[in-house]
Every structure is written in C-alpha cells, then in structure tokens.
C-alpha cells in the first residue's frame, strides 16, 4: 500500500482529519511492525481555534513543530502521565494538527497487548482487546509512541501512514472531547469517526 506523501498533509486540519479515517498508521521499531487503522480523529485548527495549543499564535518549545512543514508528528505529554499523537497539517507557519484518538489494531497485536497490559493478546478479555487502542493515550502506549517520536517526518521510514485497503463506509462528524476550556470552540464539529467502529473512544 502506498505511503501518504507530503501533499496529503498540506491541507486544512479538518480535511486531513476526515481523510485520515481508514488509513493505516505504521510504526516500525526494533524489527517489530505495529500497524493500525485510524478510526477517530480531531482537527485542531491553529491560531483561531481556542482549543488548539497554538491558539493566538502561541509559540513555545512544545508546539514549535506545528509551525514547521506538514506531515511531521506532534507528540505531547499531558496529565502528568500520558502521550498523545498528532499529525501536523496545513502549511509552514500555519500551526494546525490532527489528533489521532482511536485506531483498530492490524499488525503487532501481541506487542500492543504487552505494552498495554503485560499480557499475551490471546489472554486478553474482550474489554481489554477494545481498550488496547480506543483512546489517544492508549494508542500511544500500545504502539510504543512517546516523546522520542515528537517531530518525526511521517514521510520517513519508521513512522508513517499508508493508504488503507477499504474506505470508510460512513463517517460521523461531531464535537471534540476534553476541551472544556475552549468556550464556543467546544461546539465546532471537528471530530470525525467511522460509524460503528468499536475502537472509537467516545460514541
């Protein structure tokens, strides 16, 4: 399957978020391949979006990568213990990004099960299987993504996204999660997910 190229990411975060659904996120490390279908995303639309880390043109060390070229990773640390993975979108100096909130495991299931629960995949309960990757911090843990993966080029060879083999049947557009501080931006329909998929974090 074809790796997504720079021009895929060089669009608004809303367009990239919608089009990432059904694509395959791949992480190759230490001879292990993790891959998972993207089933839930959120767009963070830059300096005018009160929910975005780059709102108002804020430009700190943490958010610097969002001001660079599209198609790079933005991984941040939150709540003292979790990481979240984003894809930098839009053009250089327009700090937009897409948060990946849910993925469906495809390859590397045993390593994902180990990373999350220190168990074999076969020993997981049904609840645990779904809980492997149905949230932004859960999928980072499962796919072994952390601060070392901030600022990586997704057009590179260890962390990238490929075209999926099936396009999503039905896409739901709704409001974003966990942004109670964002006033009217809370109500913008910038979260997208594949209808009916069990790895969506919040229905």
Partner DNA sequence: CTACGGATTTTCT
Partner DNA sequence: GAAAATCCGTAGT
Residues at the site binding DNA, with contacts judged by CB under 7 A: 42, 44, 51-54, 58, 60-63, 74, 76-82, 84, 86, 97, 99, 101, 116, 131, 135-139, 147, 177-181, 201
Nearer to DNA, 92 or 169 (CB): 92
Vertex 4 angle, CA 109 and 70, to 5°: 110
Give Rg (Cα) of the chain: 16
Nearer to DNA, 185 or 194 (CB): 185
Residues recorded for the chain = 203
Where would I find the H helices in the chain? 6-9, 13-20, 109-117, 126-131, 136-142
**DSSP state at residue 168:** -
From the list 142, 154, 134, the residue with the least C-alpha distance to 116 is 142
Token pair for residue 72? 């790079």
Q: How far is the CB of 110 from DNA (least distance, A)?
A: 18
Q: How far is the CB of 33 from DNA (least distance, A)?
A: 22
Q: How far is the CB of 128 from DNA (least distance, A)?
A: 9
Nearer to DNA, 30 or 60 (CB): 60
Nearer to DNA, 35 or 201 (CB): 201
Q: How far is the CB of 180 from DNA (least distance, A)?
A: 7
Which three-class secondary structure state does DSSP give residue 11? Answer: coil
């Amino acid at each position: 399957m074809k790796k997504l190229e720079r021009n895929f990411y060089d669009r608004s975060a809303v367009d990239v978020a919608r089009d990432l659904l059904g694509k395959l996120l791949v992480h190759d490390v230490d001879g292990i391949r993790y891959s998972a279908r993207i089933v839930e995303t959120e767009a963070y639309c830059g300096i005018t979006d009160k929910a975005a880390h780059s709102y108002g043109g804020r430009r700190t060390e943490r958010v610097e990568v969002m001001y660079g070229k599209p198609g790079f990773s933005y991984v941040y640390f939150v709540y003292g213990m979790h990481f979240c993975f984003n894809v930098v979108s839009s053009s250089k100096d327009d700090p937009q990004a897409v948060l990946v909130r849910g993925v469906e495991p495809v390859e590397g299931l045993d390593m994902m099960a180990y990373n999350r629960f220190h168990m074999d995949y076969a020993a997981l309960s049904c609840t645990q299987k779904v809980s492997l990757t149905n949230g932004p911090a859960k999928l980072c843990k499962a796919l072994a993504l952390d601060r070392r993966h901030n600022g990586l080029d997704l057009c590179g060879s260890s962390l990238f996204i490929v075209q999926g083999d099936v396009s999503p049947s039905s896409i739901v557009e709704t409001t974003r999660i966990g942004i109670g501080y964002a006033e009217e931006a809370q109500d913008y329909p910038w979260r997208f997910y594949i209808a009916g998929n069990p790895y969506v974090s919040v229905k």
